[in-house]
Structure 1
Amino acid sequence: MQSVALLLIGIQLVYAGKHSLQYFYTATSGLPNLPQFVSVGIVDGQPFTYYDSKIRRMTPRQDWMAKSVGEDYWERNTQASIGSEQAFINNINVVKDRFNQTGGVHTYQEMYGCEWDDETEEINGFDEDGFDGGDFTTLDYKEKRYISPVPQGLATAEKWNRDGSLQQRKNYLGTICVEWLKKYLEYGKSSLQKKVSPQVSVLQKDPSSPVTCHATGFYPSGVTITWMKNGREHHEDVEVGELLPNEDGTFQKTSSITVTPDEWKKNEYSCVVEHQGKSVTEDEIRSNKGDSVPIGIIVGALGAVVLLIIIVVAGYKVYQKKKGFKPVNGSDDGSNSSAHTVPQA
């Protein structure tokens, strides 16, 4: 489960109306206690498939997924994942040689997938590889070519642009990926279409500590937390935390602001949390603030915690983690897997 948490850090948010299907692959070396290869599938921010080199079996991560497809789906995707595992272990060795690395801990990761806007029908695809937390190759979906920001990745980008890998991925990202995304949305509609409003708390340890606005228990997985100073957006000395998953499938996020006690007294500060759904009323917000911490929670049209949804979608900069894994063709009867083969770096 450590590896799953690692993957989620790379997820970004998109606006309502858009849906995403993401796949993450990671190969590691120098970490004997962790699987050498891990793959995770995520739809609209919800992990739904998992495979690693220790269990060597693709498994469901949501009840709705387990109930929606047959054993042949899991068998095909297990075999595809075994192939991806072998390719990724080979690729990490190739890339280590490119960077003149031998011993130590190393990672080779890829994140790829598609997003679909159910209002405009717009489609976007993405495919990014990284080594040891840095960019290695990136697919420019609009220009239809692979690029690399580092010299060590140029040979791989050029190879994929000319050897058929590019055309395969274009076909997958623009058609097959979107078809599977729509299927998964239908399979999991009772879960994926649910809306759970966040619980919001404003907390401060002591008058000189940062004040933290904490939103938790919300789904789908996107909130915007904004600090206001005297009715205007305020970004100075604000630190926004990572989006984190809760054990029950919901999410949490924090934003902290550091202001001197004197500034608190002279100004009015407010935390605004946005997420789709109903408004959070002032009496629903938990706080440990006292008179020394005049933090306002905006309520109603003049200052409410308005809940405006943003759906978790494909990550573009996968921070220290880019995971690679690729779908194969799919059909309505599930006769094909949802992942495709990994090309050699």
Structure 2
Amino acid sequence: MLEHTLKYFYTAVSGDIDFPEFTVVGLVDDEQFMYFDSNIMKAVPKTEWMRQNEGADYWDRETQGLIGTHQAFKNNIQIAMERFNQSKGVHTFQEMYGCEWDDQTGTTNGFRQEGYDGEDFLSLDFKEIRWITPVQQGFPSAQKWNNDRANLKGNKNYLSTVCIEWLKKYLEYGKSSLQKTVSPQVSLLQKDPSSPVTCHATGFYPSGVTITWMKNGQEHHEDVDLGELLPNEDGTFQRTSTIRVTPDEWKKNRFSCVVEHQGKTVTEKKIRTNKETSVPIAIIVGAVTAVTAVILLVVIGVAGFMVYRKKKGFKPVKPSDDSSSQRSTNTLISSGSGSSTSS
């Protein structure tokens, strides 16, 4: 693997929903290594290599910092609701941040992004080190944070230095696990002859996978929908690609699904139906709404991972040099003292 990543996902939820107000998930190379939510009020390890390498001081520091961040996110979601003229209902405010490191070229990159109700709200331009927003409601925050030069400097230092150092440390901790390779199991699934055909690849690690449909020996891209990358309970991943074709078109042509993973290729041509599958196909290939995705991922220990489905992102705060994750404790209000430091 050339490119490695450290990512954190923060999710705040408002409204009448059976879900924690605030959740945090940390990922190294897309493997979850830590978790926190406002119900348990405790940061906990999710891998054996984290349990073995970091002690009580680390988890106490993470817990105290995230308890403070929980309160900041409660403020943020209320302020966002006011800016969008909303007084009730289920709403989400999310932050996604982290860094990338290429272990061959040494190239690094950082990202920080905020979302509200699944849409872009604010993002940090890492090259220019300035905040930008695609919506009017984000202008006050962008202006406030761009005027805080110390805060911008703190973001740059964390993303380009501190984050990379912790990424390398975590990679060393988990090298036996993170360097493993598991090939995918591939199936073609269909609920009935008139339904779309889904190519389901699961059980693979690491997460990088390419799914291609072939028609009569040629790549076919029409009426194809690629699903989200999702984690499995055992630390592996799954992904689907669905093609819409008529039963007559399927019979008259040679369709196949080709899955490429870590230099190996798996090709599947035979469709499995409900009668052949122990798990109901509808569960695997059914459409997943934003809220459903959150609930599903809580079950598998990755709360809030897919509500805001953007690749990169992050939010402003001043990091401490010895902190593994950078806390966001400032609110969206355009006035005030800016960000504060945590753990």
Q: CA deviation at 1:317?
A: 10
Q: How has the CA–CA distance of structure 1 residues 206 and 88 changed in structure 2, closer, same or farther, with 3 Å as cutoff?
A: closer
The partner residue of 2:255 within 256, 260, 269 is 269
Q: Is the 8 A contact 1:210 1:258 kept in 2?
A: yes
* Counterpart amino acid of residue 223 in structure 2: D
Superposed, which structure 2 residues align to 1:230-241 within 5 Å? 230-241=216-227
Q: State the alpha-carbon separation in 2 of the partners of residues 133 and 321 from structure 1.
A: 13
Question: Is 1:30 matched with 2:20?
Answer: no
The partner residue of 1:112 within 83, 97, 121 is 97
Q: State the alpha-carbon separation in 2 of the partners of residues 76 and 203 from structure 1.
A: 46
Aligned residue pairs: how many? 299
Q: Is the 8 A contact 1:228 1:269 kept in 2?
A: yes
**Offset from partner CA, 1:215-242 (integer Å, 9 cap, x none):** 1111111211100122221111112222
Partner of residue 8, structure 1: none
- SS at 1:93 equivalent: helix
The partner residue of 1:242 within 217, 222, 228 is 228
TM-score (norm 2): 0.80
Q: Is the 8 A contact 1:28 1:107 kept in 2?
A: yes
Question: Is 1:319 matched with 2:319?
Answer: no
Q: How has the CA–CA distance of structure 1 residues 322 and 152 changed in structure 2, closer, same or farther, with 3 Å as cutoff?
A: farther
Partner of residue 41, structure 2: 56
Superposed, which structure 2 residues align to 1:240-319 within 5 Å? 240-276=226-262, 278-280=264-266, 287-288=270-271, 318-319=308-309
* Counterpart amino acid of residue 99 in structure 2: C
TM-score (norm 1): 0.79
Q: Is the 8 A contact 1:328 1:337 kept in 2?
A: no
Q: CA deviation at 1:265?
A: 3.6
Q: How has the CA–CA distance of structure 1 residues 184 and 339 changed in structure 2, closer, same or farther, with 3 Å as cutoff?
A: same
Q: How has the CA–CA distance of structure 1 residues 229 and 176 changed in structure 2, closer, same or farther, with 3 Å as cutoff?
A: same
Q: State the alpha-carbon separation in 1 of the partners of residues 4 and 265 from structure 2.
A: 23
* Counterpart amino acid of residue 189 in structure 2: L
Q: How has the CA–CA distance of structure 1 residues 266 and 197 changed in structure 2, closer, same or farther, with 3 Å as cutoff?
A: same
Q: Is the 8 A contact 2:111 2:312 kept in 1?
A: no
- SS at 2:49 equivalent: helix
**Offset from partner CA, 1:264-306 (integer Å, 9 cap, x none):** 34332221101115444x7xx694469xxxxxxxxxxxxxxxx
Q: CA deviation at 1:134?
A: 1.6
Question: Is 1:144 matched with 2:121?
Answer: no
Gaps of 5+ in 1: 1-15, 291-314
The partner residue of 1:133 within 118, 138, 141 is 118
Q: State the alpha-carbon separation in 1 of the partners of residues 109 and 188 from structure 2.
A: 37
Superposed, which structure 2 residues align to 1:164-179 within 5 Å? 164-179=150-165
* Counterpart amino acid of residue 213 in structure 1: C
Provide the aligned C-alpha RMSD in A.
Answer: 2.6
* Counterpart amino acid of residue 339 in structure 1: Q
Q: CA deviation at 1:206?
A: 4.1
Q: State the alpha-carbon separation in 2 of the partners of residues 240 and 71 from structure 1.
A: 42
Gaps of 5+ in 2: 274-304, 333-343
Q: Percent identity?
A: 61
Q: CA deviation at 1:25?
A: 0.8
Q: Is the 8 A contact 2:113 2:123 kept in 1?
A: yes
